[in-house]
Structures are given as structure tokens and as C-alpha cells.
Amino acid sequence: MKKLLVLLVALLSIAIFAAPTHLVIFHINDTHGHVWPYGEYHNPDIGGFARIATLVNQERAVNDNVLFLHAGDVNTGVPESDQLDAIPDFVALHYMGVDAMALGNHEFDNPLSTTFMQQRYAGFPFLSANFVTKDGRQLFKPYIIKNVGGVKVAILGVTTEQTQVLEPLHLNGGKFLNVEETVKKYLPELKKKADIVVVLGHLGYGKDDQPLGVKYTTSDQLAKDVKGIDIIIDGHSHTLMNKAAYINKTIVVQAGEWGKYLGRLDLWVENGKIVDYEWAAIPINLKKYLGKDENGHSKYEYVTEPIPEDPFIKMIADYYYSLGAEELNKVVGETKILLDGERAHVRSGDTNLGHLITDALIWKTGADVALQNGGGIRASIQPGPITYRDILTVLPFGNTTYVFEMTGADLMKVLEYAATIPAGKGAWLHVGGMTYKIKDKKPVDVMVNGKPIDLKATYKVAANNYIAGGGDGYKMLKGLKGFDTGFVLADVVKEYIQHLGTIENYDNAPRVVVEK
């Protein structure tokens, strides 16, 4: 009997020690300033870092083998965050226990000194193996290795090569090396040091176009072309995946945008190998709209059980929200003249404010031409100090900046439509970098940067994402080769006004002339 008990204990011990190690990797991406809960059409009070923290902490309470990763683009999107250089985001992420972040393209919206400051507040490493200075130096760690429950996990960060064009302003000659070549360079080293290799990439999933001649690597392409990667945790394309992709024995995941979802990847690892996995994107208090009740109030039901806010992270978020709100009232520039955004004026002709907005788009993106619908300009800026709140009053919709690659013939189709728009309509077009006349409801004498338009030439064109998506009847723009930079239009205008300083005068010469 005693021998039998000893045998049973030995067998039980073997079974216990042979059991696969269970790891959980939580991940988010493209949060873009959405520290706080927010609302969308028929979906109020969703997201928020404090709710994400609740889910992560619930798992940590029962499992020591947890990693938490961010796949990039913390910066740019919510004014209360933008005003504080995303410090609310990074402080909250620090106390949420994030282990590492891949640098996204929007981490280069600011000078590199700001990015380094953000990393100090974050307290976790910003990773990018393929960003180098003009003299070839690495400024950020290429990878880290974490020991999670006895499993060594290498986390290699890479950033989309698109950043070279999307955010050229603060690179100081820095460049982004080819992602595939970079990953191939590090893989042998990581395979020796770690059991599992995770590429934490801000790359984008499933894009097959290469706008503006920028060749860039997508996560699915990387998985297909490079063998030996165990997992790719991705961002950049804001893709909400229904299930994990499994490409060339590589697990590829991405969890939408703005903290609407928390990605959860469960791994079972045995002898340094992944033997099983599960993945899900967990909705953060998303709701289903059920229509109106008898009193006309909207009715909703939660998609999953409602998630409470972690009180500590909520306290941090609330504190910084009040600071960010105060920042909106700080002066960013001054104008000695009225910047005319009156409804009747911006919907029927040129104004100096319309010119300033389109010029700001060109200044920020390096575009040849900029387009802005008059209906998107909602107020004037009076002479005197200019605050960011003033700019948000002019541009209240949160539109982002879209950049196209267009031929002169494509551009003419835009102008042909614009020429038919009667005065008073929101679709009235303001332009930068070009002039033209409207005669008999047709565009004539079209000049781009002082030269006659070339129908066969290719132009870089910037516009707000509303008309880029076909809004206000600009259907000819929808589907053209291009990309959303993520730059909030109001932020672009704010930065341009800061660049200008005191506005003594501004170009008021008509760029669009309607001939009688």
C-alpha cells in the first residue's frame, strides 16, 4: 500500500510538472488619446483605460504569467491628452503595468525630446528595431526579453516604414529600415535567447496598396515572408480581427482602435513551444442599440457584462482630464485681423480662414494641393489671442487629415463637381496650392502652384477625412489611393498658428473666382 501511494504521488508530480505553462498576453493598439470613456453614435460611454485595467488586474489576481503590450500610436486624437503631450496616457499605462510598447508613427508627431520624455513617464521601454538616426544609430531598444512563468519571451519592436512620409517633420534625418530585413537580422539572436519570439509591430494588416510610392511592410506580409516568428501583435490599420490569423505558423492579432477592445491571447507552452492558443478581442462596455422607449429615450443593452472602472486608474485619468481642459484655454497664437469663418461666407466663397486651414494642411503634410469643405468651418476667430478652444470651435468635428495620390485628371473631377455647388451649401470647396475659375458651372484656368494643371501628372493632395470618405457629395474621392494620417485637423491648424505667431494679415486674394 505504501509503495502504491509513493507511486501515485510520483505520477501526480510528473503530471503537474508536465502540464503546459499558461501565459496570457493582453494587448491594445492605436489608443490615440482615449484614456477616458467616450461615446459614438448609438454607443455611449464605451472604452476607457480604467475599465481595461480592471480586466487585466482580474487576470493578474489568479495568474502570475501575464504580459501587457501596446502596439503603438498612443499620441494624437483627444484634445485633453494632446494638450499635455499624452502624459495622461503614459502615466495611466505605467500604473496599468504595461510591459513594452512598439513605437507607432504618431509617436513621431512631436520632437524626439518629447518622445523621450514620454518614455520616462511611461516607465516601460519604447521599442523600435528599425528606426535609426541619419548616421545609423538606434535611439530606442530593439527588443526586450521577459521571463514569464519560466518561459522566456522575446519582444521585438518594429515601426511602419510609412512613418517616413506620414510624420517627416520631427525625424531630423532619421529613417525606417525595411521591416522584413530587420526582423530577419534579429531572429537568430532571439531564437538563442528566448523560447518564444513576439514581434510587437505597428505595421497594419492586410493593406495591398502602397500609396504615394511608399513601400511598407504589413503584418500579414511579414508573417508570410519570414519564418520563425511565433506571434505578431499588430497596430496601425485599426483592424478589429474576428479571430487570430495563422499565417506560416505565426499567430497574428490586432484589436481595433481607441480602447474599444482589449486583445487577449492565451498561450499554452510546453518545452519552450506553443502547443495551443486562444484569442479574443474583448469589448469594453460596447452596447447594442435597441431603439426608443415610449418616452423617446434611447435603449441599449451591453454586448458583454458591464466592466467597472479601476478606481486608481480612474483617479489618475480624472486628474489629468481637468488639467487638459485647462490647457484648452491657453493661448496658442494671436491675430490682429478677423479670420472669417462666417457661415454665409465660407459656404459661398473664399475667406482668409479657409485659406489658413488649407495652407495648414499643406504645411503639415507637404501636399501640393489641399481641399476643405466650407461646411466643416463653423466659426470665425476674432482679433486677439487665439486659444485651442477657439480652434475647436472652428473645427469641432474631430476630422483627421487624409492624403491622396491623385492625377491631374482625378483632381479635375473634384473641381468639376465643386463648380456645380450652389452658394450656401456646405460642400463649397476651399483650396490651397491652387487657383481656378468657375465659368458656366465648369472649372477653367486651373493652376497648381502657379502652373497650369497637368492631367497626366501625379499630385499629393490633403483633405479632411470627411470629404475623403465621400462626404458632401465628393464621391469621386472615395476609393482613391491614399491614407489617413491620423492628424486631427484642429491640431494641424493649432500647430500652424503657433508656427505663424502673430497674424498681422493673411492671404485674402480669391483662389476660386466665379465668373458671371
Residue 35 CA: distances (Å) to CA of 68, 86, 453: 16, 9, 45
* 481 confidence band (pLDDT: 50, 70, 90): confident
For 101, the enclosing helix (H) or strand (E) is: strand 100-102
Q: For the residues 349-374, what does the mean pLDDT come to? A: 97
Inform me whether the pLDDT recorded for 4 exceeds 90: no
**Tens digit of each residue's pLDDT (9 = 90 or more) over 247-283:** 999 999 999 999 999 999 999 999 999 999 999 999 9
Counting beta carbons within 10 angstroms of the beta carbon of residue 467, is it exposed (0 to 12), middle (13 to 18) or buried (19 or more)?
buried
Express as a percent the part of the chain with pLDDT over 70: 94
> Which is more confidently placed, 216 or 219?
219
Cα–Cα distance measured from residue 252 to residue 262, given in angstroms and rounded to the nearest whole number: 15
**pLDDT given at position 15:** 46
Cα–Cα distance measured from residue 188 to residue 186, given in angstroms and rounded to the nearest whole number: 6
**Tens digit of each residue's pLDDT (9 = 90 or more) over 17-76:** 569 999 999 999 999 999 999 988 889 999 999 999 999 999 999 999 999 999 999 998
Domain span(s) for CATH 3.90.780.10 in the chain: 331-514
Inform me whether the pLDDT recorded for 514 exceeds 70: yes
Task: Please state which CATH class domain 19-327 belongs to.
Answer: alpha beta
Compute the radius of gyration of the chain from its Cα atoms: 26
Inform me whether the pLDDT recorded for 166 exceeds 80: no
Q: For the residues 169-189, what does the mean pLDDT come to? A: 94
**pLDDT given at position 215:** 82
507 with 360: CB under 8 angstroms?
no
* 2 confidence band (pLDDT: 50, 70, 90): low
Packing angle of the helix pair 49-60, 311-327 (nearest 10 deg): 160
**Tens digit of each residue's pLDDT (9 = 90 or more) over 396-412:** 888 999 999 999 999 99
Task: Please state which CATH class domain 331-514 belongs to.
Answer: alpha beta
**Tens digit of each residue's pLDDT (9 = 90 or more) over 86-116:** 999 999 999 999 999 999 998 998 889 999 9
Inform me whether the pLDDT recorded for 243 exceeds 80: yes
Beta partners for residue 102, in sequence order: 127
Q: For the residues 488-516, what does the mean pLDDT come to? A: 95
Of the segments 105-109, 207-211, 279-283, 476-480, which one has the largest average pLDDT value?
279-283
Beta partners for residue 452, in sequence order: 447
The CA-CA-CA angle for residues 508, 476, 167, to 5°, reads 65
> Which residue do the cell numbers 515601426 mark?
159
* DSSP track, 19-82: SPEEEEEEEE---TT--S-EEETTEEEE--HHHHHHHHHHHHTT-S-EEEEE-S--SSS-HHHH
- Beta-carbon contacts of residue 230 (< 8 Å; ≥ 6 apart): 196, 197, 198, 250, 251, 274
> Which three cell numbers mark 489?
485637423
Domain span(s) for CATH 3.60.21.10 in the chain: 19-327
Residue 80 CA: distances (Å) to CA of 139, 170, 329, 494: 28, 22, 11, 14
**pLDDT given at position 208:** 56
Pairing type for strands 298-302 and 66-70 reads: unpaired
